[in-house]
A and B are shown apart, each in its own frame.
Chain A
Amino acid sequence: MFDNYSWESERMSDSPFVTVEGLHYSRGETSIFRGVDMVIPRGKITAIMGPSGTGKTTLLKLIGGQLTPDAGRVCIAGEDVHALSRKALFKLRRRMGMLFQSGALFSDLDVYENVAFPLRVHTDLPESMIRDLVLLKLQAVGLRGARKLTPAELSGGMARRVALARAIALDPELILYDEPFVGQDPISMGVLVQLIRRLNDALGLTAVVVSHDIKETLSIADYVYVISDGQVMARGAPSELDVDRDPRVRQFIHGEADGPVPFHYPARDFYADLLGEGELR
């Protein structure tokens, strides 16, 4: 892993790090994925986009092995995630980091201990080394000065940066970002966009960004999948998607309110509804 040469050559080779094949998943009666195929190349930032409610977060949970698909396979670094024993799965997860939408910091630990947590449970490093690593990671997200604060004292943007520092504490090979830009003010949004790109360039890790913030995501992604209705609707480099002719892709990428995906939730005719009788609500 620390061998620079092979790491560099692996990175260049564009070999897939994560592959998703024929993924089917349904929750109760609702079918969420109907045959999703994806290849996530090593060392690149791959964005998975789509309207809200298309199951983007569910897809990340399927990749992370927290949910089991009805059919299909997810392979990470050649290992079938859902065929692993609980122990092997936890071992595989040490090579992944995940940034949760809420940050999901441990509320009983301060910022420093949150970032130190993965190091403490997975390594036998001496305390001085842990301290150095934690400070390095916190420095990378610009929050070295906030190490004594508790999660409750952090703003949303800061919490997400701390969570990012925790996610990269063990230098993972794969990092999954769940809606990293949601609910951020323009400044922390810019900071996060830069951080994600810089982390990828500097550490060469493979990143999957799930988001519906089109501008920010397209600005950092190397490759984009657009999912809708349980299937991959479009795929390609950001520049290719920009000129995609499919009306559904156009509507999503250019943020048009109405199109193939209707603005209105299905309802009966507006006129009839307003003049409707016998129905008070």
Chain B
Amino acid sequence: MIERIARLGRWGCDTLESLGDAGIFLAQSMFGKPSAEGMRLWLRQMHFVGVMSLAIVLVSGLFIGMVLALQGYTILVDFGAEDALGQMVALSLLRELAPVVAALLFAGRAGSALTAEIGLMKATEQLTSMEMIGVDPLRRVVAPRLWAGFVALPLLTIGFGVVGVWGGQLVGVQWLGVFEGSYWGNMQASVDFVADVGNGLLKSLVFALVVTWIAVYQGYALVPTSEGISRATTRTVVYASLAVLGLDFILTAVMFGGLS
């Protein structure tokens, strides 16, 4: 019994300690003197993290927009309210689906890759040798990736939303025959820039920070063996997805639930 309580306590202490470590890690790598070399490294990571995730995010956005229109139409048409389709598609995408689904896809596509890459660098002593050369791997390896993720995900989320709204229009207007004027007109009338677009983007900024932070920290702190890398990659996707969904609930409650 005592043993169990002790184990619980140890687990609690360990968890707190690694949270603290991760916090120091974030602070040390995120803030530093910007340099031309840093910009170059950041651009390179923007390519790997952002541009390379573009295809999966845009295609998913298109399909989600199309499915939303299809599902929405079949329900709305029963009430003769199919004119509100544009509004429904846009609001669900901007407030919820674009930030959340883009973040989940990003965690799977870019987050796991970041963890595996940094982990492999650690396992092959590249990070240690960088330290011995007198270059801080937090600044050189982690910071560009962290900033790239932080900037890339909100941009990808915008792309997701735009393509989704267009996909909804393809299905709703072109295929199911909703009047085009009411699709766009109702959307324009009901979507508020600050409350809907702004809050959606704010969500995606929070998700971007959390997902990238988890991914690079898991890579940096993993046990440098093949088993360690595979575990850390899995942990990145699991933790990041849970964090996104959990935070989404909290953020939604504050933004739209009248809690603020």
Within 8 A of A (CB), among B86-132: 120-121, 124-126, 128-132
Tell me if B136 counts as interface (CB < 8 A to partner A). yes
Interface string of A52-70 (1 = CB under 8 A from B): 0000000001001010000
Within the complex, which residue of A90, A105, A166 is in contact with B134, where a contact is CB–CB below 8 Å? Answer: A90
- Name the CB-closest residue of A to B120: A107
Nearest chain B CB to A208 CB, angstrom units: 13
* Nearest opposing residue in chain A for B136, CB measure: A90
- Alpha-carbon separation in the docked complex, A102 to B128 (Å): 11
Determine the distance from Cα of A96 to Cα of B128 in the docked complex, in whole angstroms.
13
> Looking at chain B's contact residues, is the secondary structure mostly helix, strand, loop, or mixed?
helix
Inter-chain contacts of B134 with A (CB < 8 A): 90-91, 93-94, 118, 121-122
Q: B194 contacts the other chain (Cβ, under 8 Å)?
A: no
> Is the CB of B254 closer than 8 A to any CB of chain A?
no
Decide if B55 is an interface residue (CB 8 Å cutoff). no
Chain A's closest residue to B133 (CB) is A118
Whether B135 is near chain A, meaning CB under 8 Å from some CB there, is yes
Check B126–A93 contact: CB distance below 8 A: no
Q: How far is the CB of B31 from chain A (nearest CB, A)?
A: 14
Dominant secondary structure of chain A at its interface with chain B: mixed
Task: For the complex, give the distance between the alpha carbons of A122 and B37 in Å.
Answer: 12
Interface bits A149-172 vs B (CB < 8 Å: 1, else 0): 000000000000001001000000
Option from A91, A93, A101 in Cβ contact (under 8 Å) with B132: A93
Query: Chain A nearest CB: distance from B113 CB in Å?
Result: 13
Interface positions, chain B 72-98, Cβ under 8 Å from A, are: none
Minimum Cβ distance to chain A for residue B143 (Å): 14
Contact size range, A? 20 to 34
Measured between beta carbons, the chain B residues less than 8 angstroms from A117 are 133
Contact B126 A106 (CB under 8 A): yes
Chain B interface size, under 10 / 10 to 19 / 20 to 34 / 35 or more? 10 to 19
Residue contact A104 to B125, C-beta cutoff 8 Å:
yes
A104 touching B126, Cβ below 8 Å? yes
Chain A 234-249, CB within 8 Å of chain B: the 1/0 string? 0000000000000000
Interface centre among B125, B129, B131, B132 (most CB of A within 10 A): B132
- A92 to chain B: closest residue by CB: B134
User: Which residues on A sit within 8 Å (CB–CB) of B126?
Assistant: 104-107
**Residues in B neighbouring A102, C-beta threshold 8 A:** 124-125
Q: Which residues of B contact A98 (CB under 8 A)?
A: 129, 132
CB contact between A66 and one of B120, B121, B128, B136 (< 8 Å): that residue: B128
| Nearest CB of chain B from residue A116's CB, rounded to whole Å | 12
B136 engages A104 (CB within 8 Å)? no
Supposing A102-B124, A107-B126 touch, asked if A64 and B132 sit within 8 A by C-beta, the answer is yes
Q: How far is the CB of B227 from chain A (nearest CB, A)?
A: 18
Rounded to whole Å, the gap between the CB of A244 and the closest CB of chain B is 33
CA–CA, A101 to B124, complex, Å? 10
Known pairs A102-B124, A104-B124; A121 contacts B135 (CB<8 A): yes
Of residues 228 through 251 on chain B, the ones whose CB sits less than 8 Å from some CB of chain A are none
How long is the Cα–Cα vector from A96 to B132 in the complex, in angstroms? 8
A100 at the interface (CB under 8 A from B): yes
Q: Is the CB of B131 within 8 A of A93?
A: yes
B45 CB to nearest chain A CB (Å)? 11
A106-B126, A121-B37, A121-B134 known; 16 new pairs, CB 8 Å cut-off, are A61-B128, A86-B136, A90-B131, A90-B135, A91-B134, A93-B134, A96-B132, A97-B132, A98-B129, A100-B125, A100-B129, A102-B125, A105-B126, A106-B130, A122-B134, A163-B129
Which 4 A-B residue pairings sit nearest by Cβ, starting from the closest? A104-B129, A104-B125, A93-B134, A94-B134
Would you list 24 pairs from A and B whose C-beta atoms are within 8 A, ordered by A residue?
A64-B132, A66-B128, A66-B131, A66-B132, A90-B131, A90-B134, A90-B135, A90-B136, A91-B134, A93-B132, A96-B132, A98-B129, A100-B125, A104-B125, A104-B126, A104-B129, A106-B130, A107-B120, A107-B124, A107-B126, A118-B133, A121-B133, A121-B135, A122-B134
